[in-house]
Amino acid sequence: MEIFEQASRLKLRFETKRGCISTEDLWDLPLSNDHGLSLDNLAKGLNRKLKEEGEESFVVPKSQESSILSLQFELVKHVIKVKIEERDAKEQALKKKAKKQKIREIIADKEDETLKNLSEDELRKMLDDL
């Protein structure tokens, strides 16, 4: 079963210092924040709890609580991954836009230079043709 389907069926909530948040609230959290609630801080806390549970047994099935903790951790990791991909794509788009603008400016400068190199008669003829 897909992790978001599991989360919605379980009505999964995440305990934070500010209270409980829902799975869909994860998308509203910043990737990182030194002093507040963030995906990074949430993931660190969940990872710490998973490590405190000790080594995973391959014979004894996971407890309900352990399974929920693992699901929460996977959800947070997924949201982090998607938000990083979106951030990187946005940065690339901004760089591409800036480069296109710079190229347009250079083309305009070259066109101006070409016009400046024309004789007065050629410029008057061009003006009359417009």
The SS3 assignment for 15 reads strand
pLDDT digits (tens, 9 = 90+) for 17-34: 889 999 999 999 999 988
Task: Give me the pLDDT at residue 61, please.
Answer: 67
Mean per-residue pLDDT, 103-130: 92
Is 121 inside a domain boundary? no
Q: Does residue 110 form part of some domain?
A: no
Task: Give the H/E segment covering residue 97.
Answer: helix 64-116
Position 20 scores a pLDDT of 93
Range of the domain at 23: 3-91
Give the pair of three-digit tokens for residue 71: 């699901």
CB distance 39 to 26 below 8 Å: yes
Asked whether residue 130 is domain-assigned, the answer is no
Range 39-46 average pLDDT: 95
Look at residue 56 and tell me if it is in a domain. yes
Q: How far apart are CA 21 and CA 74, in angstroms?
A: 16
**Average model confidence (pLDDT) for the chain?**
91
Domain assignment present for 49: yes
Q: 104 in a domain, yes or no?
A: no
The pLDDT value recorded for residue 1 is 67
In a domain, 80, yes or no: yes
- Which whole number is the average pLDDT over 8-17? 92
Summarised one tens digit per residue, pLDDT across range 68-102 is 999 999 999 999 999 999 999 999 999 999 999 99
Confirm whether pTM is higher than 0.85. no
* Domain total in the chain: 1
